[in-house]
Structure 1
Amino acid sequence: MIDYLLNTFKEKEGLDLSKDRRAMARLKEGAETCKIALSTQEEYHLVLPFIAEKEGSPLALDIVVKRGLFEELIGDLVESSLKPIEVALGDAGLERKDIDIILMVGGSTRIPLVQSFLEKELGQKPHSLVDPDLAVVMGAALQAGIINRELSPEDDILITDVCPYTLGVEVVDFIGNFPVFDAYSPIIPRNTTIPVTREEIYGTMVDNQEKVEIKVYQGDYRKASKNNFLGKFILEGIPPAPSFKEKIKIRFTYDINGILQVEGVIVSTGKEAGISIETTGVEMEKEVDLSNWKKAPGARKYKGIIRRAERALKQEVDPAIQIDLDELIKDLKRALIQQEDKEVLEDLEEELVDLLYDLEEEIDV
């Protein structure tokens, strides 16, 4: 909405307001007022007097914005919410028909387009049983009461929280008899209800291995190093034995405060070591919706190589190469959307071409 108002004023008056902080503050306030009004009426007359000056004369922004235009401006944003909905349903193991009720949260859910979009995609009318503007803060207050033991899960209310990202460790995987380094082994999948304790057992890598370094990551990439590194510790004192004979149990305990307790135990002796990690302060890489990569500037140049790589990904290839191929495709799409430098795009394209060239003898790409 702000961009539309800026462009409209620039076309009419020949002035760019984007570098005028005072004008932008007024424009933002006006756009917000207009957005709210269009949730209950078909059009809104926005007037911002004395917003700029030209040749000594004051200028005003005077425009009538219709709901249809506003919906056209936000249409892509509304439609982009479909993918997170599908991800949430998939993670929960649910289908649309399993949803009992749709509760609206946040002021923007008052927009008629948002409501009609959800009704169309989910097959039922959404409800505002709680004030959408207050729903989140009310839930936070209830959760605070439970954490402080002012509310009882047995007598008052039970609110379940989930682990927002997958938690796991770096391992050496094996494809056939060949080691694959930098592999990621999830221990607590994302959206697991917390508090939770999960554990996995791994074997030693080499003969007579005396110690193991346990590296903990947060994220969903198949390569460990692509995820967010949380911490590491050393577990020593492994008894001499052939590779894979000695077992290491790794236990993750994640609580409602975002504290991750990681313990490594030598199964044969019971010796253990561990680390405590505060995960809530970890800055995660911003998630990028890759579904609209074709609309990114310059995407046409890379469509051919990406389609070719996606075809190869659907065929039976070495799992280790499949991981690299999947990551390169995502990296190139992400770079296009984020409008990275030409050199970055060309480097990713070259890596993708080299990988596909290595696959040519195995599959038809």
Structure 2
Amino acid sequence: MIFWRKKKNQKAQDEEANDEKLLHPDNAPDIEPSIDTEDSDLSEDDKHELQKTEHEILEETDEQPTPKHTPAEDMKEAEDLSDHSNEGGWFSKLTKGLTKSSKKIGTGITDIFTKKKLDDETLEELEELLITADLGPSTAGKIVGELRSERFGKDIEPDEVKEYLAQKITDILEPIAKPMPFESVDGPMVILVAGVNGAGKTTTIGKIANWLKKDFGKKVMLAAGDTFRAAAVEQLAVWGERNNCPVIKKDIGADAAAVAYEAYAAAKEQGVDVLMIDTAGRLQNKSNLMEELAKIVRVLKKQDEAIPHATLLVLDATTGQNAHSQVEVFKEMVNVTGLIVTKLDGSAKGGVLVSLADQFDLPVHLLGVGEGINDLRPFKAQDYAKSLLGIE
């Protein structure tokens, strides 16, 4: 099917022209090199880079240098790659990771429920406790309101309150607990990974790649689309080496859309099952980031209207309620299809996942509760709710 789009203004025409240059470098090599940069600013080397054929791109992919490791980095890598499965099951790991949150809520409930009957004062204190645990005012008010209507004036023990809260939280989380969306598509499945700097995007990509290869036998390729941070490119290259995955990368400051385009071409050529594209997360420069992400998506859709098949937003649990603003901002930029929540092991703000589910109704696919390569697991609503309340 051919899609015709009316060009409403000169800006749309310019974008179309620049995209065509990226898709057909042999015909018009002067692809837009980066945001807010004119074609006339391109050096001869840059023009030559953008004129390379798909074969030349693939040749370069095989020649990526292996990052050098210090002894400390080697020790860290060994720990990351360790299998901690004998140290307790996933529920045990999750419960341990949420200890800060569960202690805060559990101790608070024990302190609050010193009376036999449920009264207004106790309910008000419980609502405040849930808000401080980052469930948010709206979600906390809803849960406490339901408890009031069902048990007001009746005898209730602290353990009963915990069980009640765990069930209500499970009810909120169950509809959004979804497995990773691995579709059967014609060609590579493309996953765009977004998030602010420091949220753990690159590490998350590496762990997912390991999981896909080890558990599902998938052929995975990574693309270093965060071209403004050398550390991000190097880190992704290390994960590629660990997982024996090809990594498509370019020089620092290169056009992220060009990286995405070249990666997709290489993924098709090499018969890759899943292509994951890392992206920048510079929220301090929101307008440029928005344009960069939009351009990546636009260029990918030139190849196939269905891609990216998924756009995952990685959130750092330690940011608490700030995660809400991050979801809102990234939803303005791209079509976020699901969430991955990291660093739950270092946070007393585990309740934020409940308020995110209640407010945005976005699928949550994976949780991270440690630095080990096996510490990123599928999200299960009941396990999470019980761990959050400290119920074994």
Structure 1-normalised TM-score?
Answer: 0.23
Structure scoring higher RCO (CA < 8 A, sep ≥ 6) equals 2
Structure 2-normalised TM-score?
Answer: 0.22
